[in-house]
Amino acid sequence: MYCQRTFPPDNTPIEKEHPVRGTITVSLPEAMKADLDEATKKEGISRSEMIREALKEYLIVRRFKQLRQEMIPYAQNQGIHTDQDVFDRIS
């Protein structure tokens, strides 16, 4: 990330973080590309924006699954073995 320093009317500097962007090339089967183009047209967003959002969601779910796997031994040591056990504890 890089920071951009801006000065509002009162001349107080405000630093805003902006992500440094990189470019990647992704190869897709024609049918998937057609589906992507149809979806982006319906939503009025670019391919890049849709792929960024899909990847962001995927990475969040992936990280959640990783954390859940890491926490299972700790939960089992406390008698928590199922989702229902979790719900019972927090309800």
CB atoms under 10 Å from CB of 39, counted, come to 13
pTM for this prediction: 0.64
Q: What is the pLDDT at residue 91?
A: 87
Of 66, 39, 34, nearest to 53 by C-alpha is 39
What's the helix, strand, coil split of the chain in %, to 5? 60, 10, 30
SS3 assignment for 10-24: CCCCEEEEECCCCCC
* DSSP tag of 79: T
Domain ranges of the chain: 28-90
Q: What is the pLDDT at residue 52?
A: 92
The one-digit pLDDT tens for each residue of the chain (91 residues) are: 455 555 556 666 555 666 678 889 999 999 999 999 999 999 999 999 999 999 999 999 999 999 999 999 999 999 999 989 989 999 8
